[in-house]
Amino acid sequence: MEEKYGGDVLAGPGGGGGGGLGPVDVPSARLTKYIVLLCFTKFLKAVGLFESYDLLKAVHIVQFIFILKLGTAFFMVLFQKPFSSGKTITKHQIIGSLKIPGRKEFKDKKLNDPRKLVRN
């Protein structure tokens, strides 16, 4: 009778070494592509650190961070393409979002006059 629980997990089903845990075979061409990509990104990171060190000698830190964030936002817009998908915003919605909140209430209650704000 075969045991339902226990036994050697690494041996696999049937007691042989055919299944179970172990190294996975990966094609060498696919692995080489990722290693080259990893080396290229490491090289770009080193160049970026070197250039940023030289740039920080000439530019204030706030300006440097602004330029850095602007550059990363530009690349994120290129990769994510947020303007080409989803619903478009209507002109009425744009104008409504630009209006100052609470302005209508002041006009309705005639609170623009400073004498009306003073209590007796």
Report how many domains make up the chain.
1
Domain that holds residue 95: 26-107
Is position 9 within any domain? no
> In terms of C-beta density within 10 A (0-12 exposed, 13-18 middle, 19 or more buried), how is residue 64 classed?
middle
Has residue 59 been placed in a domain? Answer: yes
Burial 47-56 (b: 16+ CB within 10 A, else e): eeeeeeeeee
Note whether residue 115 is domain-resident: no
Residue 81 · residue 87 · CB < 8 Å: no
28's tokens: 């060498």
**Would residue 12 count as lying in a domain?**
no
Name the pLDDT band for 84 (thresholds 50, 70, 90). Answer: confident
Extract long-range pairs of 7-11: CB within 8 Å, 24+ residues apart. Answer: none
Is 36 inside a domain boundary?
Answer: yes
Please state the pTM of the whole predicted model. 0.40
Token pair of 54 as six digits = 């030289």
Confidence band (pLDDT; 50, 70, 90) for 85?
confident
User: What's the whole-number average pLDDT of the chain?
Assistant: 75
Does a structural domain hold residue 34? yes
